[in-house]
Structure 1
Amino acid sequence: MATPPTRPQKERQAFSLILLLPNMLTVTAICAGLTAIRAGVHGNYELAVQLIIVASILDGLDGRLARALGSASKIGAELDSLADFVNFGVATPLTLYFWALQDFRGIGWIAVLVFSICCVFRLARFNVGSKTGGGLGGAYFEGVPSPAGAMVVMLPLYVSFAFADGPVVPPLVISLHMIVMGLLMISSLPTWSFKTTRISRGNVKYVLVGMAAFGAALATFAWQMLILASLAYIATVIWAWVNRKRLSRR
């Protein structure tokens, strides 16, 4: 018969609540993504987009917090990957579908499926690369990351919220936009990784002022700023495509 664990052993098996905070953020992000789907079903598209953006912010925080607390784990990494698929590979394309593609069912639904499958392949490739040391590494990702792909694929929604009360982009263009973004996620195109960007000590104050100005503009003109941010990211992807041979050799 196995000996029951002693009190010190039980204490060693216990976790500090703060060490669970990264996983709690990940679960909150999943809840945000699922609630975004619910909001999309009920036609509350602005709330759906806002919840997906919240999920992307939490996605950027949970891993960094886990590393800062020394609580990174295999389960946390897998949970984070599943959260990314729910939020960016399911909630995002479904929101676009409910918003503008329900009357364009054939090509519209194909676009949703292509984007979702590309997202799950992107995440699987990233997981394998992180375990085996593959990928480009350094200052570049291989392909567009799933959070960035989700934020950019919602560009037609931002345009609509900023300048009209309904879709202003034809359904065919929205569908093609989704397919292209999906293919970019699984491409070998080197895309800029903001995580490795270094700033000289003398420029820190200017960056902080710029971030404060961007935050204030985002709070005041949210959809317009998201349009600009999406177009700026698209510009970096185009630049990476033009310089792909040189960047792949790094």
Structure 2
Amino acid sequence: MEPRPVRDRMPLWRLLPNLVTVAAICAGLTAIRFAALGQYHLSVVLILVAAVLDAVDGRLARMLRSESEIGAELDSLADFVNFGVAPGLTLYFWSQAEARPLLWAVVLVFAIACVLRLARFNVGARRPREERDDSLFVGVPAPAGATLALAPVFLAAAWPAGPRPVILVEAYLLLVAFLMISRVPTPSTKAMRIRAEHAKYVLVGFVALLALVVSFPWVTLLLLCAVYLGVVAWSAVRRSRRA
């Protein structure tokens, strides 16, 4: 009687990065559900949670040395749902634009720009390490683009009595879509380094930022978007001067 073939076994903890990615997908899909129900603030929170999980899963995979091709493809598909589809639909439902089909066209443009941004990132990630520059992103990354796209919702939550001009939302969403597919270099946290003696200041700053987000969430998110747009504009000016 022939012995049974030994099947490959893997420890369960190696699935943790993929489980985090799946959780991010669930957060993005649930954000769409809440946006359709009119609970826009909860939808925004879930998209931001998906962005945090997106930052965690890759680092967790590298730390556990459980990177795989399936994990990379799953992460890319999750990014499209969470940062291409969910923010656009949230803005569409929030704007109450049933009678304005132009906004739907802009939402489609934003989603396609996100797809192109992710495709370009995947192609660049397959290049040899010595041929790519991991210290910068080319264009605004998808998670940052999704957060920027939600700035009108942040503004409305911080200023409930303010106007909601849909045409400005459309123009702003087109601007964010352009930034995602542009060639503007944007900073990457992977390349950021600090001195060991400055670590305590970074920790204190992070706690202060977390306290601001908890105490004044919408104003703080608006300020973070403004600062990030300023960094992108500064990078664009530097690039044009070098060219």
Tell me how far apart the structure 1 counterparts of residues 97 and 4 of structure 2 sit (CA, whole Å). Answer: 57
Task: Give 5+ residue unaligned stretches, structure 1.
Answer: none
Tell me how far apart the structure 2 counterparts of residues 4 and 137 of structure 1 sit (CA, whole Å). Answer: 50
Kindly indicate whether the alpha-carbon contact (under 8 Å) linking 1:101 and 1:171 is maintained by their aligned counterparts in 2.
no
Q: What does the per-residue CA deviation read over 1:25-51, in whole Å, with 9 as the maximum and x for residues that have no partner?
A: 000000000000000110000010000
Matches within 5 A, 1:1-40: 5-6=4-5, 9-10=6-7, 13-40=8-35
Task: Give 5+ residue unaligned stretches, structure 2.
Answer: none
The CA deviation at 1:133 is: 4.1
Tell me how far apart the structure 1 counterparts of residues 112 and 3 of structure 2 sit (CA, whole Å). Answer: 47
Q: TM-score, length-normalised on structure 1?
A: 0.91
Q: Secondary structure of 2:133's partner?
A: coil
Kindly indicate whether the alpha-carbon contact (under 8 Å) linking 1:101 and 1:109 is maintained by their aligned counterparts in 2.
no
Tell me how far apart the structure 2 counterparts of residues 133 and 188 of structure 1 sit (CA, whole Å). Answer: 20
Kindly indicate whether the alpha-carbon contact (under 8 Å) linking 1:32 and 1:54 is maintained by their aligned counterparts in 2.
yes
Of 41, 58, 80, 1:63 maps to 58
Q: What does the per-residue CA deviation read over 1:19-73, in whole Å, with 9 as the maximum and x for residues that have no partner?
A: 1011000000000000000001100000100000000000000000000000010
Matches within 5 A, 1:156-167: 156-164=152-160
Matches within 5 A, 1:1-250: 5-6=4-5, 9-10=6-7, 13-103=8-98, 105-133=100-128, 137-164=133-160, 168-245=163-240
Task: Letter of the 1:81 partner, please give it.
Answer: S
Kindly indicate whether the alpha-carbon contact (under 8 Å) linking 2:124 and 2:132 is maintained by their aligned counterparts in 1.
no
Q: Secondary structure of 2:79's partner?
A: helix
Question: Could you say what the CA RMSD is over the residues aligned between the two structures, in angstroms?
Answer: 1.8
Kindly indicate whether the alpha-carbon contact (under 8 Å) linking 2:35 and 2:90 is maintained by their aligned counterparts in 1.
yes
Number of equivalences: 241
Q: Percent identity?
A: 48
Tell me how far apart the structure 1 counterparts of residues 28 and 3 of structure 2 sit (CA, whole Å). Answer: 41
Kindly indicate whether the alpha-carbon contact (under 8 Å) linking 1:89 and 1:119 is maintained by their aligned counterparts in 2.
yes
The CA deviation at 1:245 is: 3.9
The CA deviation at 1:169 is: 3.5
